[in-house]
Amino acid sequence: MRSSTYLGLASAAMLALSVGHAFGQCAPGAIGTSRHIQVDTTGGPKLGHLQYPGPELLRPGEVVLTFDDGPHKQLTPVVLDILAQHCAKATFFLVGQRAMGYSDLVREVARQGHTVATHTWSHANLKQKSPDGAAAEIELGISGVQKALGGPAAPFFRFPYLSDPQYAVAHLKQRNTAILSIDVDSYDFRTRSPTVVIRNVMGQLKAKGRGIILFHDIQPSTAGALGALLSDLKAGGYRVVHLVPRQGQVTLADYDRRVGVPLRSIAAASVPVRQRSAVAPAWEQRVIPGSPQAPRVAVAVPAPQPDPQVPSRPAPERPVRDKDTGDDWRRSAFRGW
């Protein structure tokens, strides 16, 4: 059990406050959460030095745990259990249509005290979207996550593929939403090996000394690595800090209305009219569930119909083959959807 109080930092872009934190039952040797940093998202601050030169939020030895692309019905609960054992708080960047398919998991993430943030509606690469299409992806993601959560998400956003076109950055600035890039990449999507994930993170942290770490809670390699990695972080003298928003995300009524209709209709509505055709665009094509080898099947833009409960999966990251095994990482990552 551990309780700490630290003084905070303040800057023009953000206000960082530290609060004491009383923990419940933690595993022996748990790393805990040393402090919370309250981020004022007014004006859309950009964090994470891989892409942005903004103010340093973290003190030497501090790390922020972030998990993208979920929820995943099997792996997100595993990640949550490990974080709970270690009393470590994290930020989850959820894909809107996945959140609506697994709203119980979204609420569980929040119930356990983690920050719920957004990662577009369908994990689209926004550089491949028009400005209007990019705004729709962002806003449907926000409204979809809020609907699943039953309350405001954090106004924190991460670009899929860290792909940040200027028009989307301007949109987020106008929406007073912080953009979170990264400092350390676990590269968990490139490997099935937890050992490799741990080596990737610890190696980069040794060089940088602190940082926002990117994981994916849809990746078995991260689920397998996280417990040992948190122990290694503690042994290495690192401290987990938790980013929380100063204010909740405000949704837009038009997009709230759109997520009030069946999922497949939302997907069709999010595509600019000039791009619509008798056949859905590539991101609306889908592989038949349970058949990884099945050919991709183009589906016609659908008429409204009952909610299928399980959403279509977001576009995968990129086709990287595991260096060690030659396996397609996506097979294991998405098995069981």
Q: Which residues of the shown chain bind Zn ion in the complex (CB under 5 A)?
A: 68-69, 160
Smallest separation, CB 123 to Zn ion (Å): 6
Smallest separation, CB 253 to Zn ion (Å): 27
Nearer to Zn ion, 67 or 255 (CB): 67
Smallest separation, CB 120 to Zn ion (Å): 8
**Given the residues 21, 86, 171, 216, the one annotated as active site:** 216
Smallest separation, CB 234 to Zn ion (Å): 27
C-alpha distance across the termini of the chain, in Å: 37
For residue 257, report the phi and psi dihedrals to the nearest 5 degrees: -65, -40
Nearer to Zn ion, 40 or 69 (CB): 69
Q: Is residue 183 annotated as a catalytic residue, yes or no?
A: no
In the chain, which ranges are E strands? 35-39, 46-47, 62-68, 91-94, 115-118, 156-157, 178-180, 184-185, 211-216, 239-245
Tokens standing for residue 294: 């099945």
**Given the residues 68, 164, 188, 217, the one annotated as active site:** 68
For residue 213, report the phi and psi dihedrals to the nearest 5 degrees: -105, 135
Q: What is the DSSP string of 192-244?
A: S-HHHHHHHHHHHHHHHSSEEEEEETT-HHHHHHHHHHHHHHHHTT-EEEEEE
- Let me know how long the chain is: 337
Q: Is residue 232 annotated as a catalytic residue, yes or no?
A: no
Nearer to Zn ion, 158 or 242 (CB): 158
Nearer to Zn ion, 257 or 318 (CB): 318
Nearer to Zn ion, 69 or 139 (CB): 69
Residue of minimal CB distance from Zn ion? 68
For residue 36, report the phi and psi dihedrals to the nearest 5 degrees: -105, 145
Which residue, among 143, 96, 145, 149, has the nearest Cα to 257 in the 3D structure? 143
Smallest separation, CB 68 to Zn ion (Å): 4
User: Which residues are marked as active site?
Assistant: 68, 216
